[in-house]
Amino acid sequence: MKAPSPMIYLIIILSTGCMQRHYIAIDPYVPVSPHSFKQPKPVGLQVINARSSNNIAQRSGPDFFFFSPKFTVRSESDLTDVMRQKISEGLFRMGFKPKRIEKVPNKTFRVEIVQLKSNYEEKLPALKIRVQAALRAHCTNTKKSYSKTYSYEKQLNSVPASTFPNEKLINGTLSETLKKMFEDKELISCLAQ
């Protein structure tokens, strides 16, 4: 019996290297200390995805015809909707009453998702992973405006490859970014006026 040609092996290797899509659930914990106002304070909320791509991670392989990239990691649901829900949850716990931005034009809170990405470096049987998240917040009320970017980065040098695409690490990084935003006293003061 004749052995398969090396070309057959090359085709098999390349076909297994085709793009694989991985979808993860974005569900960060919202670390907020409850505040209490006499009455909930209304605030107009808008969340915008300012990223150039919806991919959280993308790994390119060798560029052979249509065999590139190796994989992508994306949110399984719309990232803007999820983050709007999480930011609303945090605001509500702090004593605010988030509404659509058109309904409260005199006090607005606009949050841009500037960055959410993860990088994977293979060091089999482990991975080196770096996850970065950044949110830019803009508060405007009748008296003043305030703007700041909050970012957080987490890096692990030896993670089992079986944990890919590391959903918990991505959500944990987002949680830490939200925590920085909700702990900013100047931002909360702007929203409370």
Least confident residue range of 58-62, 67-71, 175-179:
67-71
Return the pLDDT at 168.
Answer: 94
pLDDT for residue 176 is more than 70: yes
The chain-wide mean pLDDT, for the chain, equals: 85
The percent of residues above 90 in pLDDT, for the chain, comes to 61
Least confident residue range of 15-19, 48-52, 56-60, 160-164:
15-19
Return the pLDDT at 38.
Answer: 80
Return the pLDDT at 111.
Answer: 98
Beta-strand pair 20-24/71-75: parallel
Least confident residue range of 67-71, 157-161, 166-170:
67-71
pLDDT for residue 8 is more than 50: no
Which residues touch 150 (CB under 8 Å, ≥6 apart)? 134, 135, 136, 137, 177, 180, 181, 184
- Residues 14-36 have pLDDT tens digits of 444 456 889 999 999 998 888 76
Give the domain ranges of the chain: 26-56+76-192
Angle, CA of 131, 137 and 139, to the nearest 5°: 170
**Which of the four CATH numbers 3.20.20.60, 3.20.20.140, 3.30.160.150, 3.20.20.330 does domain 26-56+76-192 have?**
3.30.160.150
Q: With cut-offs at 50, 70 and 90, classify the pLDDT of residue 150.
A: very high
Q: With cut-offs at 50, 70 and 90, classify the pLDDT of residue 123.
A: confident
Return the pLDDT at 29.
Answer: 94
Mean pLDDT of 52-71: 66
Cα separation, 149 vs 138, whole angstroms: 9
Which residues touch 105 (CB under 8 Å, ≥6 apart)? 44
Beta-strand pair 41-49/20-24: unpaired
pLDDT for residue 165 is more than 90: no
